[in-house]
Every structure is written in structure tokens, then in C-alpha cells.
Amino acid sequence: MSVQAIDTPPLQAWYTRYEPPYALLTLIGLIIIWQLACSVLKVPAFLLPSPYDIMKDLVFNASYFVPHAAKTSLVVVLGFAASVAIGMPIAIMLSYSRILNKSLYPLLVGSQVVPKVAIAPLMLAWFGFGMTPKVVIVITIAFFPIVINAVVGLRSTPPQMIYLAQSMGASLWQVFFRFCLPQALPSILAGMKMAAVLAVIGAVVAEFVGSDAGLGYVILAASSNFDITRQFSAIVVLSALGMAFFWIIEIVERRMIPWHISIRGER
Amino acid sequence: MLHDATLTTDRLAGTHTSLDALHRASTDRSIAIRNVSKIFKTRQGPIQALSAVNLEVREGEFVSVIGPSGCGKSTLMMLLAGLDRASSGSIMIGGKTIDGPNADIGVVFQQDALLEWRSALSNVLLQAEIRKLEPKAARARAEELLKMVGLEAFHEAMPHELSGGMRQRVSICRALLHNPPLLVMDEPFGALDALTRDQLQVDLLRLWSNRAMTVVFITHSIAEAVFLSDRIVVMSPRPGKIETIIDVELPRPRRLAVRDTPAYAHYVQAVTDIFKTLGVLKEDEA
Ligand SMILES: Nc1ncnc2c1ncn2[C@@H]1O[C@H](COP(=O)(O)OP(=O)(O)O)[C@@H](O)[C@H]1O
Ligand SMILES: [Mg+2]
């Protein structure tokens, strides 16, 4: 008894399999319009460089961009990893202790009104000029979505599931690792995706405030030289970095929670 | 037949508990509920969910608890499972007083509580993993149970690929994996359509047919209670207490056709009348 795709007409099946990448096409279209606008209207490069100008800069000066991009990536990765390493235990404590949750959670949420850019110079004063202040600044930004989403996820285990676990004689440990943590994974990973993007922003903020390397520094230096093209190039690389980190988490997500509706629903 | 087939397969195995040992350790499956009351303290004041409940359930008996919504059925289940404490009175199962989570039990809830990230077979085996049962024997038993409820072709299916009835069957298999002396079910078929419900009733009777376990079956369906039970405990609302206990002397094994007999109709009528007297069911005068 074999199951056949009787309910999907062939044309539709073909279409869903080879559905065009709409977002990518839109992006390419926008870039073409931008390029045409620049060429036809003869916009000077010091006002708005064309995509071609930017590409030229990126290709010919790759040896300049690569080390800076690597520096920024390192800050992002370290900051992100530290945010997870600090955020997860805090989230677990908050979701298990009512008192801790009541005393810390509101402060945590409230702390988000502090603009991170504003405290960046403070971090410099406290942690000097090395890697540390930058990683700390990334943590202050990326840590929050990780904690909040993990707490929400860890608290989303239906009470019946806990009762079931107890009726099996599960230890606290087993309840956490077999029931609560898997249940929370979708939410935790959603938090990590947000954190990955915010980590890139955090790294740039840190490099703006005080640095002699990294893409944030590249933008500052180019800005003082009125090199608009260079600024655009750095922005393009930064966006690509952000997208890459987001994708990595998404791939991890697909592997870890293939059962979840957010993954299943996609084509 | 259900037991002997798998239980002869187990052997000495490290830290694992064999299913057979579990089975022997708890041969007494009777329940004694003595004068149990439960009061919930809420912000609106105390709510008396159960009032002086007394009930004895014999070993291997199939008892249904029926009553209107809010009469304390689920509360009673929580007390039997040791997941909540009675305000007064005592519950003894197999001669042991329940005063903490009772793991000598299988539970089935209305929502099947399957773990979405585990396949059907793996959901059933969860019971074995948590209890550290010997994996080989547990797997054989899981496969046998799934077969008994017609899911032998769905071992690797994920919960979201199963229908409501299939999911509930998996959760019943999970509740039975360790041969619990007591199975408690809280409106397990309440969310299913009528046809699926009939099928699961038949499946459940098959799983229980050798009376190897005591079943406490909570329902709000009179027909279901009559079809399944040896005895029906009828509860009255607010504060929940036992109104009457009805012995159902329909022959076993029961087939669906029993529902067309006058005897069956008589029992359904009897329970209906009690609810009418209690004012739970109201009718317009003819
Ligand atoms: N945890 C609780 N806290 C407060 N009140 C509760 C709680 N659980 C149940 N109750 C109350 O106890 C009564 C009986 O509830 P329940 O046992 O769930 O009824 P049933 O399962 O028969 O519908 C209801 O009035 C309900 O509101
Ligand atoms: Mg209930």
C-alpha cells in the first residue's frame, strides 16, 4: 500500500518544488533599478555610489576588508557565545524560581530602556581598549532576547506534561532535559536568531565608540575621508555578516526542531 | 496473553528494572479512598472540590467516575496520582498510603500530552527511559502494545502526522508500557469524534481484558461509562461527593452490540434519572 501524491495536481507540484526565490529576485531588481538610476541620472559617486562602484571597491580592496570583517566577526561570535552562556543559566533560574523571577524579570525588561549606545563609552572606561569592552557591549545587546525567549519557552510546558513526568517518577533533572528543554527549544532558537542579528549591531556600536579595527572602524574612517563608496561597501559586508549569522542559527534550528510547526509549515 | 508474551523475555540486566519485577512488586491493586475532602484556597475564597468521598475499588476492576463538569473528577484523579494532597482523609493503593507522586500508575489525560519531538514508538518508550527499564524488553512490549491498538505501521510517525484518535492510542500505550497496577484516565476520549471514540473504547477493553490492572476511568458520557464499566460512580456537583454507585452487570466480553440490548438501555436510563433528580439534567414538561 503506497501513498501517492494524489491530492496535488502535477502542475502545482512542479510549481511548489521549483518555486522562484521571490525575495532574491526582488533584491536583484532593486539593485538593477539603483544601478540604472545612478548611470542614467549620472549621480556623482560622492553622493550615492552605484552598485557597480561598491562591487569594484569590495573586489579590488578585498585584502583591506577581510581582516576588518574577521575582527568584527570575532567580536560578534564571542559576544553571542557569551550571551548564550550567561543568558541560558539565568533564564533557567528565572523560570524555576518564582521569587527570582519576580525580583529580577521586571528589572531585566526595564533595563532595556537604557540605550546601549549610551553606555558603550562607559564599557570602554571600565574594560580598556582591547577585545573585552566590545564583547561586553555585544553581550548587553544580545543577552536580552536570549533570556526573555528562553524564559517564555521554559514556562510553556503544559502542566499536564509535568504531571505525566511525575507519574513516571521523573527526577527534576529528567523533567528538565526530557520535557521542558525540548519544549522550549523553538522559543530559545527564535531568541538566538534575534540575538545573532543584534550581536552584529552591538559589534558595530562598540567599534564606533573606540576601535582601530573592524567594519565599524572602517565606516568611521571612511566617513572622515568623505569616502561614501567605502562606507557603502562596509555596510554591504556588515549586512552579509548579519545574514550569515542568522542563517547559521536557522540551519541549526532546522536540524534541532524539524518537528516544530514553524519549520514544518515552510516550503 | 498480553503480559505473558513479553514478560517471559526479560532477564537480569544491570541497573535496569525488568518489567516482570515491576509487575510482581505490586500485585495488590485495590484502592481505598477514605473520607477524602479537598478544599482549594483561591482568591475568591475556599472552594470545596471534594467532600467526604469514600470508595473502595477492587483489584482488576473497571470503575468509571461520572459527573457534571466541575464536580471534582479531575481533582480525584490528581489525588490518586499523588500529584495533589487531600485536605483530609486518606487514599491507599495496594495497602500503601499515597503521600507523594505515585509512580505505580499509568495516566492518560484528555489532551494526549505526546512529546511532539518524538515518534510514536519513542513516545511510548519514554516511560521506559524515565523508569530505566530494560530497553530490549521495553521495546518488545511497546511494539506489542502499538500492535494491539492497530498502530504497528506507525512506529516512526511523528505526533503531528497522526490523527487525534491515533495520538490518544499512543498515549494509552505509553501509560501501559510498565504494566502499571493502576490506570487512571481523565476524560481520555472526550475530544474525539463518536466513531473514533467507539473504536478506542473497544481497544481499551481489549487491553484490560485479562484484568491485570485496575482502571479508574473518568468521563462525562453516560453511554461510555455503561459500556465500559463494572461499576459507575456517580458524582454530584458542588461540593463534589459520591451520589450513588451503580453495578453494571452486563456480560463480558462486551461488544458494541451490547448497546442495543434492553439491559444496557436500563443502565443508561438509571444514570440519566440520577442526574435528573440532581437537577444536572433538566427537561421541559411533556
Ligand atoms: N488548582 C485549583 N485551584 C483552585 N480551584 C480548583 C483547582 N482545580 C480545580 N479547582 C476547582 O475545583 C472544582 C472541581 O474541579 P475539577 O476536579 O477540575 O472538576 P471536573 O474534572 O469534574 O470538571 C472546580 O470548581 C474547580 O474550579
Ligand atoms: Mg476534569
CATH number for position A172: 1.10.3720.10
Q: At what angle do helices A22-41 and A51-60 cross, to 10 degrees?
A: 100
Q: What is the pLDDT of residue B176?
A: 93
Give the number of domains in chain A.
2
User: Is B56 a member of any domain?
Assistant: yes
A63 and A6 share a domain? no
**Which residues, 6 or more positions from B135, have their beta carbon under 8 angstroms from its beta carbon?**
B16, B128
Annotate B128-144 with DSSP letters as a single string.
HHHHTB-HHHHHHHHHH
Please enumerate in sequence order all residues whose Cβ is within 8 A of that of B20, keeping only pairs 6 or more positions apart, or say none.
Answer: B7, B10
Q: Looking at the 3D structure of chain B, how many domains does it have?
A: 1
Mutate which of B130, B131, B133, B152 to test chain A, going by most A C-beta atoms within 10 A?
Answer: B130
Residues A88 and A212 in one domain: yes
Q: What angle do CA B30, B33, B36 make, to 5 degrees?
A: 165
| Whether residue A84 is found in the same domain as residue A29 | no
- pLDDT on residue A2: 44
Residue B226 maps to a domain:
yes
Provide the 10 A C-beta neighbour count for residue B41: 9
Distance, in Å, from the CA atom of B103 to the CA atom of B94, rounded to the nearest integer, reads 13
Residue B272 falls within a domain, yes or no? yes
Write the CB contacts of B136 (distance below 8 Å, at least 6 apart in sequence).
Answer: B9
Residues of A numbered 247-266 whose beta carbons fall under 8 angstroms of chain B's beta carbons: which are they? 257, 259-261, 264
Long-range contacts of range A176-182, CB-CB < 8 Å, 24 or more positions apart? A176/A92, A178/B115, A178/B126, A178/B129, A178/B130, A179/B115, A180/A95, A180/A154, A181/A154, A182/B115, A182/B117
| Domain co-membership, A113 together with A203 | yes
% of chain B beyond a pLDDT of 90: 63
* Nearest chain B Cα distance for residue A77, angstroms: 29
CA-closest residue to ligand 1 atom 25: B70
Q: Please report whether residue B79 resides in a domain.
A: yes
**Structure confidence at residue A209 (pLDDT):** 87
Asked if A118 and A55 sit in the same domain, the reply is yes
At residue A264, the pLDDT reads: 74
Per-residue pLDDT of chain A (267 residues), as tens digits, is 444 445 666 677 766 677 788 889 999 999 999 999 999 988 888 889 999 999 999 999 999 999 999 999 999 999 999 999 999 999 999 998 889 888 988 888 888 888 888 888 888 889 887 899 999 999 999 999 999 999 999 999 999 999 999 999 999 999 999 999 999 999 999 999 999 999 999 999 999 988 888 999 999 999 999 999 999 999 999 999 999 999 999 999 998 888 888 777 654
Q: CB–CB of B254/B263 below 8 Å?
A: no
Which of A168, A173, A255 is most worth mutating to test chain B (most B CB atoms within 10 A of its CB)?
A168
Query: Does residue B50 belong to any structural domain of this protein?
Result: yes
Residue of B nearest to A172 (CA): B130
Ligand 1 and B135: CB distance under 6 A: no
Which of B111, B115, B127 faces A168 most closely, judged by CB atoms? B127
Do B94 and B26 contact (CB within 8 A), yes or no?
yes
Angle between helices A98-110 and A131-154 (to 10 degrees): 130
Assess whether A29 and A54 both reside in one domain: no
Residue B169 lies in a domain: yes
B173 touches ligand 1 (CB under 6 Å): no
The candidate with the shortest Cα–Cα distance to B220, out of B208, B233, B230, is B233
Domain that holds residue A136: 49-266
What is the reported pLDDT for A154?
A: 94
Judge if A6 and A118 occupy the same domain. Answer: no
A57 and A5 within one domain: no
Cβ contact (<8 Å) for B109 and A163?
yes
Cβ neighbours of B102 in A, within 8 Å: 167
Q: How far is the CA of B266 from the centre of ligand 2 (A)?
A: 27
Considering the domain architecture, whether residues A72 and A144 belong to the same structural domain is answered as yes
* Cβ atoms of A161 and A179 closer than 8 Å: yes
Range of the domain at B250: 10-277
Q: Is residue B118 part of a domain?
A: yes
Task: Report the residue from A169, A257, A259 with minimal CB separation from B103.
Answer: A169
Cα(B140)–Cα(B5) distance, rounded to whole angstroms?
9
Region of A140 please: left (phi>0), alpha (psi -120 to 50) or beta: alpha
Give CA angle at B114 (B111, B118), nearest 5°: 165
The ipTM value here is: 0.83
Cell 534575534 maps to which residue? Answer: A194
Q: What is the pLDDT of residue B189?
A: 92
The answer to whether residue B111 sits within a structural domain is yes
Model confidence pLDDT, tens digit, residues A192-247: 999 999 999 999 999 998 888 899 999 999 999 999 999 999 999 999 999 999 99
Please indicate, yes or no, whether residues A180 and A255 belong to a single structural domain of this protein: yes
What is the pTM for the complete model shown? 0.82
pLDDT of residue A98: 87
Distance from CA of B230 to the nearest CA of A (A): 25
pLDDT in tens, chain B (286 residues): 344 433 333 333 345 666 555 554 555 678 999 999 999 999 999 999 999 999 999 999 999 999 998 899 999 999 999 999 999 999 999 888 888 888 889 999 988 899 999 999 999 999 999 999 999 999 999 999 999 888 999 999 999 999 999 999 999 999 999 999 999 999 999 888 888 899 999 999 998 988 889 999 999 899 999 999 999 999 998 788 899 999 999 998 899 999 999 999 999 999 999 988 888 888 787 6
Return the pLDDT at B261. Answer: 93
Q: Which atom of ligand 1 is nearest to the CA of B68?
A: 22
- For residue B247, the SS3 value is strand
Residue of B51, B75, B278 to test ligand 1 pocket, by largest number of atoms within 8 Å of CB: B75
Would you say the CB of residue B279 lies under 6 angstroms from ligand 1?
no
B244 bridge partner residues: B234
Q: Are residues A15 and A88 in the same domain?
A: no
Q: Which single residue is written with the C-alpha cell 533557567?
A: A92
What CATH code is carried by the domain that includes residue B173? Answer: 3.40.50.300
Q: What is the pLDDT of residues B190-240, one digit of tens each?
A: 888 888 899 999 999 998 988 889 999 999 899 999 999 999 999 998 788
In the numeric block, the cell 571597491 is attached to A57
Q: How far is the CA of B67 from the centre of ligand 2 (A)?
A: 10
Residues on chain B bordering chain A, Cβ-to-Cβ distance under 8 angstroms: 78, 81, 83, 101-103, 105-107, 109, 111, 113, 115-117, 126-127, 129-131, 158-160
Q: Are residues A100 and A154 part of one domain? A: yes
Q: Nearest residue of B to residue A163 by CA position?
A: B83
Cβ of B69 below 6 Å from ligand 1: yes
